[in-house]
Chain A
Amino acid sequence: MGRTLLRHWPLLFLAFAAVVPTVALSNYQLFQLTMVAVYAVAILGLNIVTGFNGQISLGHGAFYAVGAYVTAIMMDKWGVPYWATLPVSALICACTGFLVGLPALRLGGLYLALTTFALAVATPQLLKYKLFEGWTGGVQGIVIDKPDPPFGLPINADQWLYLFSLAVAAVMFLLAANLVRGRIGRAMMAVRDQPTAAEAMGIDLAMFKTRTFAVSAMLTGIAGSLGAIAIQFVAPDSFAVFLSITLFVGLVVGGVASIGGTIFGAFFIEFVPNLAEQVSKAAPGAVYGIILIAFLFLMPGGLAGALRKLLRLA
């Protein structure tokens, strides 16, 4: 009985997450949970490349921005329905990730971290660039419409948005879990743990890392699309360097190379800044810093690591 429960916890969690908040929470709270689902997918993408493949990226906010803008532009310029923008966004972000990864991953290690960081720094400026203004709306950004619930469902737009984001997130988590538990996932971790040996096992390091980077960018890009739909607005300054760093914080707090920990990381980056602001209006940054350090001190392996330790004790 306990074992069956343990095996099916993702399904139970999903059912609970779909029903209870939709019924019990206010629209604003639901919006916050929608953003948790969005961030969870974004961190999931980062986790694939940094957690499982060991390539540090400090620039995943850039892919989030690409996804957000692809969706916003398609909805704004061509009136494409919000859901139909997701596959296009996935494809474009995967290609972007592949092209960025192709040269960047040959550098590896700290150089990769800096290259991706540079990408994150450049992103808001690129989005403001005059030449693209006709598409991106320049500094003003793009406002898009809130999607209505389909099929005449008896729920409001916020509830629908939450359920839609949750469903997309669930699919992304399933895809990612499939990926990391099979041959490709083992190869990712092999490349991270011991590249020379991985190469001797027939893994083409450069190509493999680049593909991993593409999948990672795709996931984070889809999160960007979902985020744009949820906020109904994109503007360059929402995608500053801080977004990339925030995703990185979520990754580490949740647990590096843990699929489930990603969800906790998303809760952390959505709620802890607010919490810090409630504690001290004057220095929320300092409070945030202290909470973060306390977390890393108490749970050096992230929440996922702490839970694993608990399970081993039990």
Chain B
Amino acid sequence: MSVGTGRDDGDLLQVQDVIMRFGGIVALAGVSFNVGRRQICGLIGPNGSGKTTLFNCISGIYRHGSGDIRFEGRSLSGLARHRMAGLGIGRTFQNVALFNSMTVRDNMLVGAHHLAHSGFVAAMLRLPATRREEAAMQATLDELLDLLDLRAVAERQVSSLPFGTRKRVELARALIGRPKLLLLDEPAGGLNHTEVEELERLLRQIRAHFDLSILLVEHHMNLVMRVSDSVVALEFGLKIADGTPEAVQREPEVIRAYLGETEAVHAA
């Protein structure tokens, strides 16, 4: 009702004509797309196409020049980064940004930071409200430890864990904050074949279990095409395709961007 552009107002995330410049370079030249509720949306594109830039605009790391990014109808422009979690936007990082000196359990509990409210004084005095908050978090924590197969390493320091496990910890840390939208930055990066298959299963399971939407920036084309409900393809800061995985895969622009000009002719 507020946006009269024919877009579905129920969409969780609306990216509208986002432009982002770095000096003279246009990284995003007016990109628009939506992510619906309970949808998995894959964001693809060759290196330098602007997908990481777009991801950083959505998560507030960059401030886009013009255009708007709306979450549940509310503009994210100018919003402080630490407010994102409270709105229901969780994320993981491309190179795994865990709290390395801490255990798996404590890493996950930090993910629930914004759900509790007791402050410094309450913590020092260990007031009953503080203890209740800590206890309340345990149930969710236990559930996630099982779902992500982290029970056995819960008390281990994260820096001592293998890469694939650390990626799951990061996912668990984002999930415990009960996000409505989960931003995943190359979740399959650095994983082996079995781990990628495992991830695919996990993403479906998460969507069903936690009733959330996922925006996936990913190089691993097989994973994106299998798991996504919709796929957005970028090239040189422009959207070149947007639709179901099947439709996007058939799009000549996408084939050209990925395979190059000559092969595209052969493919056609």
Using a CB–CB cutoff of 8 Å, the interface residues on chain A facing chain B are: 175-176, 178-179, 182-187, 189-190, 192-194, 196-205, 211-212, 215, 257
Contacts and interface: CB of A to CB of B under 8 A. Distances in A.
A183 B118 contact: yes
Query: What 5 A-B pairs come out closest when comparing CB atoms?
Result: A202-B114, A202-B85, A193-B99, A197-B97, A175-B124
B97 A196 contact: yes
B94 to A, nearest CB: 11
Nearest to B100: A193
Interface string B76-109: 0000111111100011010001111110001001
Interface stretch (B3-11, B126-134, B196-204): B126-134
A198 B110 contact: yes
A204 B82 contact: yes
28 contacts: A178-B126, A179-B123, A179-B124, A183-B113, A183-B133, A184-B119, A185-B123, A186-B109, A187-B110, A187-B113, A189-B99, A190-B99, A190-B110, A193-B98, A196-B97, A197-B93, A199-B81, A200-B84, A200-B91, A201-B85, A201-B110, A201-B177, A202-B82, A202-B84, A202-B86, A202-B177, A203-B114, A204-B80
B225 to A, nearest CB: 28
Contact of B59 (A187, A193, A200, A203): A200
B102 A190 contact: yes
A51 to B, nearest CB: 11
Q: Point out which of A179, A190, A211 has the most chain B C-beta atoms below 10 A from its C-beta.
A: A190
Q: Point out which of B84, B85, B110, B119 has the most chain A C-beta atoms below 10 A from its C-beta.
A: B110
Contacts of A204: 80, 82
Nearest to B102: A189
B147 to A, nearest CB: 19
Interface residues of B, number: 37
Contacts of B22: none
Contacts of A211: 119-120
B86 A184 contact: no
Contact of A201 (B111, B118, B119, B134): B111
B125 interface: yes
Interface in B128-143: 130, 133-134
Contacts of B221: none
Contacts of B83: 202
Interface in B174-230: 177
Contacts of A200: 59, 81-82, 84-85, 90-91
A201 B114 CA distance: 7
A203 B125 contact: no
Contacts of B86: 202
A299 B33 CA distance: 56
Given A202-B177, A204-B80, 10 more contacts: A183-B109, A183-B113, A185-B123, A186-B109, A187-B113, A190-B102, A193-B98, A194-B97, A200-B90, A201-B173
A182 B116 CA distance: 11
A225 B81 CA distance: 39
A242 B173 CA distance: 43
A183 B134 contact: yes
Given A194-B98, A198-B110, A178 B84 contact: no
A313 to B, nearest CB: 16
Contact of B100 (A176, A184, A194, A205): A194
B120 A184 contact: yes
Nearest to B101: A193
Given A184-B119, A194-B98, A201-B85, A178 B177 contact: no
B167 to A, nearest CB: 13
Nearest to A176: B124
Contacts of A203: 82, 110, 113-114
Given A178-B124, A194-B98, A186 B82 contact: no
B169 to A, nearest CB: 12
